[in-house]
Amino acid sequence: MLDVALAKKLIERVTEYTSYNVNIMNEDGVIIASRDPERVGTFHEAAYQIVHGGKDIITVESDHDYPGVLQGMNMVIDIDGRREGVVGVTGDPDEIRPVALITKMAIETMIKYENQKLQSIRRQSRKERFAEILTREPNPDPNYIRRLARELNYHEDIVRIPILCQPDRSKYVSSLLEMIKSSSAHGREDISFALDDKYVLVFKTLDTGKQNIFADYKYILADYMKIALNRMREENIGCQFFIGTFQSNFIQYHYAYRHCLWLADNVHTEHSAVYFYDYAGRYIQQLIPRKELQQIFNVFGSSFSDDFKKDYCELVGSLIENDFNTAAASREIFMHKNTFLYRYNKIRDMLNVNLQASPRDKWLLIYLYLYLMP
């Protein structure tokens, strides 16, 4: 059904290019917009017959052929096979025919454009709400989020992984989003949007049928991000990418996004891409309640001297970061290897641990480190 406001706008545009009177009639045969304001609201018999009959065009040779209808041409407004209304051009049919046909085509084109624009706005509104649910609501209504996804043509039974893209300046967020969406590697099922005027968030699809995603996902994502990253480098835009966790359920996407945020807040590196699964151990360690550690290690803490606790946190922290490689750990804290081993041996003797003989002793050192850290 034709919208009256849209019909008036169409008349304003069309009559900029012709001096003939143009009318637009709705499905009830009523003139809803006209260059002649006095005709608005009147019944148009020819238009009614076109909408409800089989004719696409009715040519009126005389002002007396139909009640309320002037000489001219009246043509169906056909939008994707639907008879939405009628456009009429007043005048001698032989004279106005070319103008009338062009007017019909122009109005149909403008209606289609306006419909597409409206659909785009509606889709964007739905997508904004969808993005809000994915990132802001830890316990969304499953039926609602899945209905939104269906309306946006996103399927749930697909494995996706989030990529939180953070350009070095917020003014580049829109440019980065367009670079990502225009890439040939960006698929229809990839969900992407700007977030907080600071990030671009992409839930990238992974093809479990063709790829070993658990072994190869870093290479897959590197290829995906490469195009946008190269374009950004060409324009001298810096960016980091924080990659979260695999998900196949929209309800879990919120947590995958939170994993990306945790990386952004807790992992500081010069690498352009940071992967959550490389830091899953550290993340899980941070989830251990302080109260639990206190109940387990409170006597240790009260028995050690402050100097011992300081040495312990420095050395064991460095060992943890370097996979318990003493040579790499000593280099990281700029300590001579022999000095490092001397101090480490004091810790080993105090706790009676042997990392080489008992991997379980590593966990004791790690959890005691978490307790002693200020």
pLDDT at site 118: 67
pLDDT at site 357: 78
pLDDT at site 53: 86
Neighbours of 315 (CB within 10 A): 23
pLDDT at site 342: 94
CA-to-CA distance for 167 and 331, rounded, in angstroms?
32
Domains belonging to the chain, first-starting first, are: 4-118 (3.30.450.40), 142-286 (3.30.70), 288-372 (no CATH)
CA-to-CA distance for 205 and 213, rounded, in angstroms?
10
pLDDT tens over the chain, length 374 residues: 677 888 888 888 887 888 889 999 998 899 999 988 889 999 999 999 999 988 899 999 888 888 778 899 999 998 888 888 999 999 999 898 988 898 888 888 888 888 777 666 566 688 888 998 899 888 888 998 999 899 899 999 999 999 999 998 888 999 899 999 988 899 999 999 999 889 999 999 999 888 899 999 999 999 998 888 888 888 888 899 999 999 999 999 999 999 999 999 999 988 889 999 999 988 998 899 989 999 999 999 999 999 999 999 999 999 998 989 999 999 999 999 999 999 999 999 999 998 877 889 999 999 999 999 88
Smallest CA-to-CA distance from 191 within 235, 265, 109, 133 is with 133
- Which residues are within 8 A (CB) of 354 and not within 5 positions of it... i.e. 6 or more apart? 348, 361
CA-to-CA distance for 29 and 86, rounded, in angstroms?
8
Contact 132, 35 (CB under 8 A): no
CA-to-CA distance for 88 and 42, rounded, in angstroms?
14
Contact 342, 296 (CB under 8 A): no
CA-to-CA distance for 103 and 89, rounded, in angstroms?
8
pLDDT at site 121: 56
pLDDT at site 155: 95
pLDDT at site 231: 83
Instruction: Strands of 169-212 (E only): list them.
Output: 191-195, 199-206
CA-to-CA distance for 314 and 307, rounded, in angstroms?
11
pLDDT at site 255: 95
- The two beta strands, 22-25 and 31-34, are antiparallel
What pairs with residue 30 in β-bridges?
A: 43
Contact 308, 350 (CB under 8 A): yes
Token readout for 196 is: 């907080």
Token readout for 336 is: 């001579």
131 three-class SS: helix
CA-to-CA distance for 348 and 364, rounded, in angstroms?
11
Contact 113, 107 (CB under 8 A): no
Smallest CA-to-CA distance from 86 within 1, 43, 24 is with 24
What is the total residue count of the chain?
374
- What's the pTM? 0.64
> C-alpha angle with apex 223: 219 to 229, nearest 5 degrees?
125
| Residue spans of alpha helices (H) in the chain | 4-14, 45-52, 93-136, 142-151, 173-182, 213-234, 253-266, 280-287, 290-303, 306-321, 326-332, 337-351, 359-372
- Which residues are within 8 A (CB) of 352 and not within 5 positions of it... i.e. 6 or more apart? none
Q: Which residue do the tokens 């641990």 mark?
A: 353
- Which residues are within 8 A (CB) of 288 and not within 5 positions of it... i.e. 6 or more apart? 367, 370
CA-to-CA distance for 32 and 23, rounded, in angstroms?
8
Contact 56, 77 (CB under 8 A): no
- The two beta strands, 82-90 and 31-34, are unpaired
pLDDT at site 261: 96
